[in-house]
Amino acid sequence: MWQNIRSVARIGPQADERGGYSPSRLALKLATSSTTDYDNTVYEHAPQGPKRKILMVCTEEREMTMRNGKKFSTGNHPVEMLVPMLHLEKAGFHIGIVTPTGRPVAIEMWAMPDQDPAVQDIYDRYRDAFANPDSLSDFASTLQAHQDIAAVFIPGGHGAMLGLPENEDLQRVIRWTLEEDLFMLSICHGPAALLAENLGESQTSFAYRGYSMAVFPDRTDKITPLVGYMPGHMPWFFGERLTELGVNIVNSQANGTCHRDRRLITGDSPNAANEFGKMAAQALLSESGA
Q: Which pLDDT belongs to residue 290?
A: 61
CATH 1.20.1250.20 matches 37-288: no
Residue 7 has pLDDT above 50, yes or no: no
Percent of the chain predicted with pLDDT > 90: 90
Q: Which pLDDT belongs to residue 10?
A: 67
Interior/surface letters 1-31, b for 16+ CB within 10 angstroms, e for the rest? eeeeeeeeeebebbeeeeebbbbbebbbeeb
What's the average model confidence in pLDDT over 19-42? 96
Residue 35 has pLDDT above 70, yes or no: yes
CA distances from 36 to 118, 122, 221, 279 (A): 9, 13, 22, 17
- The one catalytic residue in 58, 188, 265, 279 is 188
What's the average model confidence in pLDDT over 192-217? 96
> Phi/psi at 253 (nearest 5 deg)?
-130, 160
Which tens digits make up the pLDDT trace of 219-247?
999 999 999 999 999 999 999 999 999 99
Q: Which pLDDT belongs to residue 46?
A: 86
State whether residue 73 is helix, strand or coil: strand
Q: Which pLDDT belongs to residue 87?
A: 98
More confident residue, 216 or 290: 216
Residue 202 has pLDDT above 70, yes or no: yes
State the Cα–Cα distance between residues 69 and 277, nearest whole angstrom.
35
Q: Which pLDDT belongs to residue 1?
A: 26
188 flagged as catalytic: yes
Provide the 8-state DSSP code for 48: P
More confident residue, 131 or 288: 131
Q: How far is CA 242 from the centre of its chain?
A: 16
Residue 152 has pLDDT above 90, yes or no: yes
Choose among 112, 150, 153, 114: nearest CA to 136: 153
CA angle 269, 251, 237 (to 5 degrees): 70
Q: Which pLDDT belongs to residue 224?
A: 93
Helix, strand, coil in percent for the chain, rounding step 5:
40, 15, 40
Enter the pTM of the model.
0.95
Which tens digits make up the pLDDT trace of 90-140?
999 999 999 999 999 999 999 999 999 999 999 999 999 999 999 999 999
Confidence of residue 157 (pLDDT cuts 50, 70, 90): very high
State the Cα–Cα distance between residues 190 and 188, nearest whole angstrom.
5
Q: Which pLDDT belongs to residue 65?
A: 98
